[in-house]
Amino acid sequence: MARVIMTCGKICCGKTTYARKLEEELGAVVLSIDEVMLALFPDGAGEMHDAYALRTEQYLLSLSLDILESGTDVILDWGLWTREQRDRLREFYRAHNFPCEIHYLRISDDEWQRRIRQRNGSRTDGSSYYVDEGLLDKVESLFEEPAEDEIDLIVGEDG
């Protein structure tokens, strides 16, 4: 039976790299809100960002069911910053009879800061968000580290 692997972690912690690695290993399909948002709004969506991101999430959830019903695993390359969101997605997939796992990409503060600096210094193709102070503040205020009972797998800094 097809399953869902949901990546959880702060921005710039390695979720996309990890999701692409799993995609190759499992023959799965990666669904990324950031990828869609950056393709549609390469210069940013401004104050509508959160509303558009929510619509994108709803679309990708529907698409994920089609993919799962075909027998293919799905990897959600999302941040899942809050327990409420993680609980809601777990319930969504359970209601549709698909198993799901949360893979938490844990990262030290020092490594996180290093990766942010690296991303910001090398970002030229528009494939990722520039992490400015506003985005850092948003992550810091919203991110709720998952509890042990939420996590199926912890992925360390080396992926």
CA-based nearest residue to 64, from 36, 34, 88, 98: 98
Cα angle 83, 140, 22; round to 5: 60
Q: What is the rounded distance in angstroms from the CA atom of residue 126 to the CA atom of residue 42?
A: 7
Strand runs labelled E in the chain: 4-8, 29-31, 74-76, 100-105, 153-155
Please state whether beta strands 153-155 and 29-31 pair in parallel, antiparallel, or not at all (unpaired): unpaired
In this model, does residue 159 exceed pLDDT 60?
Answer: no
* C-alpha dist (Å) from residue 92 to 4, 41, 83: 11, 28, 14
Task: For residue range 52-91, list pLDDT tens digits in order.
Answer: 999 999 999 999 999 999 999 999 999 999 999 999 999 9
DSSP 8-state secondary structure symbol assigned to residue 30: E
Residue-level pLDDT at 123: 62
pLDDT, average across residues 23-52 = 94
Mean pLDDT of all residues in the chain?
A: 93
Q: CB neighbours of 20 closer than 8 A, spacing ≥ 6?
A: 30
In this prediction the pTM is: 0.91
Alpha helices in 104-157 (DSSP H): 109-122, 133-142
In this model, does residue 157 exceed pLDDT 90?
Answer: no
* Domains observed in the chain: 4-155 (3.40.50.300)
